[in-house]
Each structure stands twice: as structure tokens, then as C-alpha cells.
Amino acid sequence: MSTEPVPAGTVLAGGVPAGAGPAMLTLNNVEVIYDDVILVLRGLSLQVPEGKIVALLGSNGAGKSTTLKAVSGLLPSEHGEVTDGSITFAGQDITRMDAAERVKQGMSLCMEGRHVFEHLTIAENLVAGAYTQKAGASSAEVLDEVYTFFPKLADMRNRVAGYLSGGEQQMLAIGRALMARPKLLMLDEPSLGLAPLLVQEIFGYIQRLNAETGLTVLVIEQNARRALEVADHGYIMEQGRIVLEGPAAELRENPDVKEFYLGLGDEGSRKSYRDVKHYKRRKRWL
């Protein structure tokens, strides 16, 4: 782990978050290099406890998406590689596992920007999501569950996905990820490009999924305020490593987080964005 001084209030990254169940996903000192030269993750460690919602926050280029790609095995298609450290999922080392095999083991990723199959209908998108499941009664059951959970999708099942609105596409992307019956659902910026009301709706779905089915969730967000509201635990990333972590409620109150990510001043007053930016440029954790 890093030997650099860490600011007060920081729990050393990598430890089990207090009061949590067994870890569903553990990243231990993961290092990722793209194209053999670009170091993106520099010894990142985090844990996602079973049945919890964990938020991974950080500014653009901190390496959040790369973290999810490393977990779901998508790095090889982008000339990236985990060069050090290990990733453990449900007690199994998956650092070098094939992407398709990881999905079978029970993890689903909802990519940034939704990535629905634009020329396929909603129903076909969902069938594609269940690719790793053996066809039959059980996968029809999951389809029913998804339609019950997102009634809007059921009403439009024969519509071509490319013509749906952003919010509908995000629902479809989540529904499609659920078709693989994941134990761990990873969401990369589910609020991207959505109106505030829709963001609230999407996060409501995530919370309900977690509460009703006990699904473990790892979510990346730019919208730190919203994410820390629904999450149990939060990690904050900067330049490829975790710089701050803690229970979401604590992070919400942390003065640094307030200032950097929530745009609030000391006394809770809203700061001008220009000042925040200026301040950020002068002071970083690392």
C-alpha cells in the first residue's frame, strides 16, 4: 500500500469496511497498464461486502471505469492488462479469468453510456442479456421478473431499443444486466445524461433491487451527492488509487468531500463552482 501521508479521517484502503458482511468482491493492490505504457490504476484496493451498495467516486480520469473493466475482464479488448495485484470474486481469484466466464460466475456490468443494442428490440436485448443462462423455464422466469420490475419495458417490448429515451435505455441496460442473474451488479455512471428526476428514478430502482433481492451493487458516479445518499459505503479515487473511504453517511459529512465533490463550503453554504475548481487545482490529496 501507499506509504505517502494520508489525510486525517482516512481509513487505510483495503481493510474490511466496519460492520460489513463477507466480501463479495475484493481488489487487492491492482495495477492496470494500457498499451504497455499508460499506468492507470496504481495499487488500487477496495472491497464490496455482500448485500451492500458501494459507491466509487472520483473526478474524470481517476480510473473508475478502468476499475470496473478490470473487474469484468474487458481490459484485453482495449489493450489493457492487470499487471499486478489480484481480484477476488465470491472467494475465487478471477484476475486472469475470461470475461464470459466472469459473467457466468455471477457478475454483470452496465456500461457507461448504456450501450443498448440499438437495432434489436427490447425483448431481444433482454434475451441477449441472458446469453450465459441455459434457455428454459428459469430464464423465462427471470424475464418475467425484469418485466415486473420495469413495467415500462414490458409495455414496449417490441420497440427497437435505439429509439428509446435515455431513461428508458438506462432501464433496459439495467434489466439486461439482471437477465444474467448476477450476484454483483456493477453500474458505470447510470445517471449519465439523464434529467434530475430520472436520475432519482434510476437510483430508486437500484435501491429497491438491493433492498428486495439483496443484490450487491458497485456503482460509479459523478453525481456524488446522489450516490452517497443510496450507498452504504463509499470509496473516493484519485489518480488511480483510493484516497478516502468510509461509510457513506460519514463521507457525506467529511469536510473535504463536501468541498471537493458536493460543492459546499464550511458552514454548508454552496460555494461558487469557480472557487471550488480553483481550490481543487491547488490542493489534492495525493
Please give the residue ranges that form the binding site for other proteins (CB under 8 A).
72, 74, 77, 98-104, 108-111, 115-120, 124-125, 127-132, 135, 160, 162-163, 165-166, 176-177, 180
For residue 12, the minimal CB distance to other proteins (Å) is: 32
**Residue 109 to residue 272: CA distance in whole angstroms:** 35
For residue 124, the minimal CB distance to other proteins (Å) is: 5
* C-beta of 198 vs 257, nearer to other proteins: 198
Q: List the one residue out of 162, 122, 166 whose CA is nearest residue 146.
A: 122
Ramachandran assignment for 27, one of left (phi > 0), alpha (psi -120 to 50 degrees), beta (any other):
beta
For residue 189, the minimal CB distance to other proteins (Å) is: 14
Q: Are 68 and 112 in contact (CB under 8 A)?
A: no
* C-beta of 193 vs 196, nearer to other proteins: 193
For residue 187, the minimal CB distance to other proteins (Å) is: 11
* C-beta of 185 vs 257, nearer to other proteins: 185
For residue 182, the minimal CB distance to other proteins (Å) is: 10
* C-beta of 11 vs 120, nearer to other proteins: 120
For residue 139, the minimal CB distance to other proteins (Å) is: 9
* C-beta of 52 vs 181, nearer to other proteins: 181
* C-beta of 194 vs 276, nearer to other proteins: 194
